[in-house]
Structure 1
Amino acid sequence: MHINKIKHTNAGQFFLMAGPCAIEGRDIALRIAERIVTITDKFQIPYIFKGSYRKANRTKLNSFTGIGDIPALEILREVGETFDIPTVTDIHESEEAELAAPYVDVLQIPAFLCRQTELIEAAARTGRAVNIKKGQFLSGESMAFAVEKVKATNPESTVILTDRGNSFGYGDLVVDYRNIPAMQAHGAPVVMDCTHSLQQPNQSSGVTGGKPALIATIAKAAIAVGADGLFIETHPVPAEAKSDGANMLPLDQLEGLLEKLVRIRESIR
């Protein structure tokens, strides 16, 4: 399924990127996707399944990085084909673009890498949609240059921009909602990452912390401001997740949250 198939399928509705932080295995990926598809179908929310085939940005050397590139990418492709939905995964080096592109619909550029020209160019050359996360150190206005890199490489590429907050001190983030309209001015749909914006990275334990109780707060504000989409990492048992469990939404809370968000979107339309 091409990314364009999720656009404007429900006029005025936001779209959702959601799934586990990392692909941990086939069964759990399919189980999470099936549940989210059921929920998003109920509310007519366009949906993109998210899962990292490899985790490159880890605090500790022995942190979980994945089950293997090709096995994880094959699971992503199976999820997309089984439920007829687009899928997204992140890449970290230029050569990964060609590796991942045959398996997914959207290639995601992590926030720390949003200025890496060769990486963005490699993603654009694949013809896949490119989701670029705004660096924690950048303004929304400065993301115009990331969009330009994609369009200069492949004018036909779909570009998505995602906000995940800005660094606030050494171990915290704060969301500046001015960045949503600022990035929309670049002509790209803008997504609010409701989970990573609540991260508390590089804790003394070597395990990233977070404030998942505030996911609903971040999401509600983003929809009220007019975000085009939301990014939410979710897992049936976050405490057992192999990556970023400290800031993921429990899967059984997703339906109630989306119901509230749909009502907020309807009230401002």
Structure 2
Amino acid sequence: MIIEVGNIKIGERNPFCLIAGPCVIENEKITLDIAHRLKEICTVLTIPLIFKTSYDKANRTSVRSFRGPGFEKGVSLLQKTKKELGLLITTDVHTPSEAEQAGGVLDVIQIPAFLCRQTDLLLTAGKTGKAVNVKKGQFLAPEDTRYIVEKIKSVGNNKILLTERGTFFGYHRLVVDFCSLPVMGQFAPVIFDATHSVQQPALGEVSGGRREFIPFLIRSALATGCAGIFLEVHPEPERALSDGPNMVKMNDLPALLETAKEIDTLVKKL
């Protein structure tokens, strides 16, 4: 199955798309700088890009952790990014009202993993007519994502993506079952979230991460023929205000994507 977002075709033998950006909006300058650099890299490599960042990290471990600028300021900046750079954009929404209001700006509405079964949120996102990317909860069997897809399709929206971002908590880290990708692929094109899949939850007030494993997970995911890769990136992850340990350093991104493109091209010729 193939869905279209703007001028991008996602799924089947189409080249993988990249959903990427900083974890959270830290300020306007760094957001626009990252978006501009991503556009440059993906233009050179001819990789379809959807820019992602969050206006509110609503499920941070600690109440003292940075959450972002909030809905109004965040969506306004996303709209500015879209207009100035001509990028397709996505962000995560947390309530039906947010989905409804943001639908006029976003090209893809992202549903967070912990909210993937919230019926009202899924239905409202679907009713916007925009593509809906649902992150599979760490607690959910891949076979059960069919019910997520059914909910969104019930309101007449067939533009659905499913994202794998680690399958369960174990050994204080997330573990990826790559068998889940073809299973989920029976219901919708599958995106693989390579950065949250190396997250180490429950390490005190903030989550940890092992970014050195990201290249290996990307290679493995693309070998399954997945439709896209989700990455959070930052010029200085060690100084990032959220999820720094599992973000890709911007300077490492071109080489990472070059390898990814080679693997994707090879696999989709088979």
| TM norm structure 1 | 0.94
Shift in Å at residue 237 of structure 1?
0.4
Which residue does the alignment assign to 2:250?
A: 251
Shift in Å at residue 92 of structure 1?
1.2
Task: Report Cα offsets for 1:45-90 as digits up to 9, x if no partner.
Answer: 1100000111101100111111232111111111112222210100
Distance 1:191 1:39 in 2: 20
Q: Give the one of 104, 107, 119 matched to 2:109.
A: 107
Which residue does the alignment assign to 1:182?
A: 183
Which residue does the alignment assign to 2:223?
A: 224
Distance 1:168 1:111 in 2: 13
Distance 1:8 1:57 in 2: 29
Matched, 1:192 2:163: no
Distance 2:252 2:81 in 1: 22
Shift in Å at residue 106 of structure 1?
1.1
1:8-157 counterparts in 2 under 5 A? 12-153=14-155, 155-157=156-158
Q: What one-letter code is carried by the residue in structure 1 that aligns with 2:193?
A: D
Shift in Å at residue 10 of structure 1?
11
Q: RCO higher in 1 or 2 (8 Å CA, sep ≥ 6)?
A: 2
Distance 1:149 1:162 in 2: 16
Moved over 2 A (4+): 8-12, 168-171
1:208-219 counterparts in 2 under 5 A? 208-219=207-218
CA contact (8 A) 2:6 2:88 kept: no
1:237-248 counterparts in 2 under 5 A? 237-248=236-247
The Cα RMSD (Å) is 1.7
Distance 2:86 2:28 in 1: 16
CA contact (8 A) 1:88 1:106 kept: yes
Percent of aligned positions that are identical: 44
Q: What one-letter code is carried by the residue in structure 2 that aligns with 1:202?
A: A
Shift in Å at residue 238 of structure 1?
0.6
Which residue does the alignment assign to 2:202?
A: 202
Shift in Å at residue 159 of structure 1?
0.4
Q: What one-letter code is carried by the residue in structure 2 that aligns with 1:222?
A: A
Shift in Å at residue 4 of structure 1?
4.1
Task: Report Cα offsets for 1:190-221 as digits up to 9, x if no partner.
Answer: 000000011111212x1110111111111111
Shift in Å at residue 99 of structure 1?
2.4
Task: Return 5+ residue gaps in structure 1 as ranges.
Answer: none
Shift in Å at residue 8 of structure 1?
5.6
Count of residues in Structure 1 that have an aligned counterpart in Structure 2? 265
Task: Report Cα offsets for 1:131-161 as digits up to 9, x if no partner.
Answer: 00011011211100000000102x2341010
Distance 2:126 2:11 in 1: 24
Distance 1:73 1:87 in 2: 10
CA contact (8 A) 1:14 1:46 kept: yes
Distance 1:267 1:125 in 2: 37
Distance 1:61 1:36 in 2: 31
Shift in Å at residue 230 of structure 1?
0.2
Q: What one-letter code is carried by the residue in structure 1 that aligns with 2:175?
A: V
Task: Report Cα offsets for 1:170-199 as digits up to 9, x if no partner.
Answer: 62211111111111111x210000000111
